[in-house]
Copies of this chain bind each other. A is one copy, B any other.
Amino acid sequence: MARAGEEALIARYFAPLSGPGAEGLRDDAASLTPTPGHDLVVTADAVVAGIHYFPDDPPGSIAVKALGVNLSDLAAKGAVPRGFLLTLALPDDWTEAWLSAFAERLGEASRAHGCPLLGGDTVRSGGPALIGVTAFGEVPAGAMLRRQAARAGDRLCVSGSIGDAALGLALRLAPDPALAASHCDVLLDRYLHPRPRLALVPALRRHARAAMDVSDGLAGDLHKMLAGTGLTARIDVPAVPLSTAAGAAIARDRSRLATALTGGDDYEILCAVPPDSVAAFLADAQAAGVPAAEIGTVTAGDGPPCFLDAQGREITFTRASFSHF
Contacts and interface: CB of A to CB of B under 8 A. Distances in A.
A18 interface: no
Contacts of A43: 28-30, 85, 119
Interface stretch (A73-81, A185-193, A237-245): A73-81
A104 interface: no
Contacts of A38: 34
B127 A125 contact: yes
A6 interface: yes
Contacts of A141: 33
A29 B77 contact: yes
A55 B249 CA distance: 46
A160 to B, nearest CB: 18
Contacts of A42: 29-32, 85, 118-119, 134, 136
Nearest to A210: B27
A61 to B, nearest CB: 18
A108 interface: no
B26 A148 contact: yes
Contacts of A124: 48, 51, 324-325
B51 A139 contact: no
A132 B126 contact: no
A31 B118 contact: no
Interface residues of A, number: 68
A139 B46 CA distance: 28
B28 A89 contact: no
5 closest pairs, A vs B, by CB? A127-B127, A29-B43, A134-B134, A31-B144, A6-B325
A249 B303 CA distance: 64
A96 to B, nearest CB: 14
Interface of A: 5-7, 21, 23, 26-34, 36, 38-52, 73-74, 76-77, 79, 85-87, 89, 118-128, 130, 132, 134, 136-137, 139, 141, 144, 146-148, 212-213, 215, 224, 323-325
10 contacts: A27-B77, A28-B212, A30-B41, A40-B136, A44-B86, A46-B87, A48-B125, A125-B125, A125-B128, A134-B134
A70 B126 CA distance: 21
Contact of A120 (B31, B44, B50, B122): B44
Contacts of A79: 29
Given A123-B51, A147-B27, A132 B87 contact: yes
B39 A74 contact: no
A38 B38 CA distance: 12
A43 to B, nearest CB: 4
A2 to B, nearest CB: 14
B73 A325 contact: no
A124 B46 CA distance: 10
Contact of A51 (B50, B74, B126): B126
Given A7-B224, A87-B87, 17 more contacts: A27-B146, A28-B43, A28-B147, A31-B77, A32-B41, A33-B40, A34-B34, A34-B38, A42-B118, A42-B134, A44-B85, A45-B121, A46-B87, A46-B132, A47-B123, A51-B124, A125-B127
